[in-house]
Chains A and B, each alone.
Chain A
Amino acid sequence: MASGHYAHVEFVRVRSPKEVDALIQNLTNRDKQA
């Protein structure tokens, strides 16, 4: 979805509080791997 000046940016849409824990876990794992 990102384009132009913000092509480097990843966008995530959170639709429910139920998605929060999984997203944070996902990002934490990604951060550890980086």
Chain B
Amino acid sequence: MRVNVIGTSGSGKSSFAKQLAGALRIPYLEMDRLYWKPNWQEPKDEEFFPILEQALSGDAWVLDGNYTRTTHIKWQRADLVIWIDYSLLLTVYRVIKRSILRAWTKQELWPGTGNCESFARLSPKTPWCCGRSQITPAIGTNLRNSWQAGITHTLSSFVCVLPKR
């Protein structure tokens, strides 16, 4: 089974993905760990895509992460996508709690990178591209997803009730 778990920051996709991988006894792959280089340096796509392709070359895995620009790689190989889509309130609560805990403990997020969360990066005013704050994106992504899901549901309902000609 090849599974991609997606969802906004703080949705609990990592916890879920680890739990699922453990239950299925297959490798757990974390996209953030594959992606981030030391000092929050980001690889170029030409560098990152082959790393991801190599990681996904196995017969079974649970991949934790969004990175929508890699969809063509992930979903070409996946046979199941699980979207963790909890409420905005729960997601925001979780991401704030996690971020504070990480900033407080200075926990290294991915071994060998030295990348840690910090209180300076938790500010909602901190740009995502510079500071890695996950709080603002968590809210934005959740609202956007909910809106899109609502629109999709409304449209599909509408299409379903259209009379056949």
Q: Which residues in A have some Cβ–Cβ distance to B below 8 Å?
A: 5-6, 8-17, 20, 23-24, 27-28, 30-31, 34
Contact with A along B53-86 (1 / 0, CB 8 A): 0000000000000000000100110111111111
Taken together as a complex, chains A and B put the C-alpha atoms of A17 and B86 apart, in Å, by 8
Q: Which residues of B contact A (CB under 8 A)?
A: 1, 3, 12, 16, 19-20, 23-24, 72, 75-76, 78-86, 90, 149
A5 touches B78 (CB 8 A): no
B84: nearest chain-A partner, CB-CB:
A14
> Contact at A28–B23, with CB atoms within 8 Å?
yes
> In the complex where A5-B75, A17-B12 touch, is A12 in contact with B81 (Cβ < 8 A)?
yes
- When chains A and B are docked, how far (Å) is the Cα of A33 from the Cα of B33? 32
Query: Is the beta-carbon distance between B23 and A12 smaller than 8 angstroms?
Result: no
28 contacts between A and B (CB under 8 A): A6-B75, A8-B79, A9-B75, A9-B79, A9-B80, A9-B81, A10-B79, A10-B81, A11-B81, A11-B83, A12-B82, A12-B83, A13-B83, A13-B85, A14-B82, A14-B85, A14-B86, A15-B86, A16-B86, A17-B12, A17-B90, A23-B82, A24-B19, A24-B23, A27-B1, A27-B20, A31-B1, A34-B1
Choose one: B16, B23, B80, B90; the contact of A10 (CB below 8 Å): B80
- The answer for the CA separation of A10 and B83 in the assembled complex, in Å, is 11
Q: Please name all residues of chain A whose beta carbon is closer than 8 Å to the beta carbon of B1 when the two chains form the complex.
A: 27, 30-31, 34
> In angstroms, how far is the closest chain B Cβ from the Cβ of A31?
5
Contact B81 A20 (CB under 8 A): no
